[in-house]
Amino acid sequence: MRILPLLAVLVGCNEAPIGIGTPQPPLGAPEPEPLLVVEPTELDFGVVALACGSEPQVVTLRNEGDGELQIHEITLGGAWPQMFELQGAPLTLGPGEHLDVPITFLPDDEEDYRAQLVVQSNDETQPTARASLKGSGWLYELVEESWTQDDATAVDVLWVIDNSGSMSDEVGDLADAFQTFIDAFVDYELDYHIGVITTDMDDPAHSGRFQGEVITSLTDDPEAEFTSQAAQGFDGSADEQGFKASKHALTAPLVNQGHNQDFLRTDARLAVVFVSDEDDPPLDGITANQFITWVTGLKTDPTDVTVSGLVGARATGFASVFGSCPDAMAAPQYHRAIQQTGGVWGNICNQDLDPFLNHVAQVASGRLEEFPLASPPISTGQMEVLRNGEPVDYGFGGWSYDPVSFTVHLDEDLELEPGDEITVRYPVEPTCEEQDPSPQP
């Protein structure tokens, strides 16, 4: 029998002997390693007003390895690190864990700025990881609004007219100019329904009830019929409630009764137009927000609904500075509904109502040539108008701006088509709001 020599295993004095039954990693198995992933690798803050700074944006640091990731340092570098501010401290991330790092852009001049987020870690594959940061400072706040040309062929228009004692002149002016409204609908070859109610919710003969048959594209003399229905006298309730009257007119039971039942169609756009020298009283009736929620909910697509108004001024107080009707009160409730639905404001003090009626016809039908802005621009020289992403020239054959109504006008020669998107970019005074420094991703 042959005896094989015994191989001795030497164990260093600083090493413990391997015990029988102790699990050991397979020979050659890799050590657990961290893997740092930075997302996104670029933040673009766009144009930011100097007085406000930006809202925070987030860079996420994620450990996608199987070992512990030690974040040694998080700093800002590059050309303009002083224009950015971050929140984040060194820490250790286990496998699958992440850290959100909020970053704010704080420009101090009208310049383009770039910087970098720099992260030092124990990831041997990239001990230093970076994300690029950029933004532009501007003295003003940049606003962008867009509209899309509709191809609607049917529209229902509800006129809500104040029949109180102070409205005789205004209702007469409206009736005299109404042909402008009808002419626009004829030009657009629209299938239209027009209904007339009053703001009187005390008289049961009114209270949301239509004041005559629905006026349609088949009515022999729509202007005469509208004039007749709008002339409801001037001894109506002094407690004008336009929002409530509208809701009564277009909900059960009235929407299924009398003349009302012939008005509202599911496949038509809906426009509500208020005519009053006083605001709707929020304490006694329906608030503007409640009305907007209800009226836009009548359509599957809320953008098929617009609210317009021939009412008082935007600001608090009397509107006498705008014309010859010193008793016309400011109408913040109506203005809120107009602005939030993309409608048209006309000054009740104006005697020339043709521009207002033409604009209402455009907005009601979705065939726009005029675009009311939510805020007054600081400078027309820094305004930009785009059609389907392409710049439109300023001046004859292009666009112009009316500083009284805050409205951009496009020349009719542009011949806008259904589906065209019009975008207006313009500067306004900054309206800074306190930001949450730790946004959630």
Q: Are residues 158 and 128 in the same domain?
A: no
Q: Confirm if 264 and 210 have CB atoms less than 8 A apart.
A: no
Same domain, 159 and 135: no
117 and 217 share one domain: no
Pair 256, 223 in one domain:
yes
**Residue 424 belongs to a domain:** no
Which domain, by its residues, includes 106? Answer: 36-139
Within-domain flag for 397: no
In a domain, 222, yes or no: yes
Q: Do 49 and 158 belong to one domain?
A: no
pLDDT score, position 94: 94
Is residue 162 located within the same domain as residue 309?
yes
Residues 159 and 76 in one domain: no
- How much is the pLDDT for 68? 95
Q: Is the residue at 324 inside a domain?
A: yes
- Distances from the Cα of 103 to the Cα of 80, 97, 131, 213, angstroms: 14, 20, 11, 61
99/195 Cα distance (integer angstroms): 59
SS3 content of the chain, % helix, strand, coil (to 5): 20, 30, 50
Residues 168 and 112 in one domain: no
Beta bridge partners, 100, equal 60
Last residue of a domain, one of 367, 383, 399: 367
252 lies in the same domain as 285: yes
70 within a domain of the structure (yes/no): yes
Beta strands 128-138 and 42-49 are: parallel
* Residue 236 within a domain: yes
The number of distinct structural domains making up the chain is 2
Point out the residues of the chain with pLDDT beneath 70.
1-29, 165-166, 168, 233-234, 283-285, 314-327, 433-441
CATH number at 65 reads 2.60.40.10
Do the domain assignments include residue 219? yes
Structure confidence at residue 235 (pLDDT)? 74
Q: Are strands 421-428 and 98-105 parallel, antiparallel or unpaired?
A: unpaired
List the Cα angle 276/170/319 in 5-degree steps: 60
Looking at 113, 139, 165, the residue that finishes a domain is 139
* CATH number of the domain to which 341 belongs: 3.40.50.410
**30 within domain boundaries:** no
pLDDT score, position 27 = 61
Examine the domain organization and report whether 242 and 359 are in the same domain: yes
pLDDT for residue 351: 77
Q: Pick the last residue of a domain from 367, 401, 433.
A: 367
Same-domain pairing of 131 and 279: no
Are residues 186 and 322 located together in one domain of the fold? yes
In angstroms, the CA 331 to CA 335 distance is 6
pLDDT one-digit tens code per residue, 222-267? 989 988 888 876 677 778 889 999 999 999 999 898 889 989 999 9
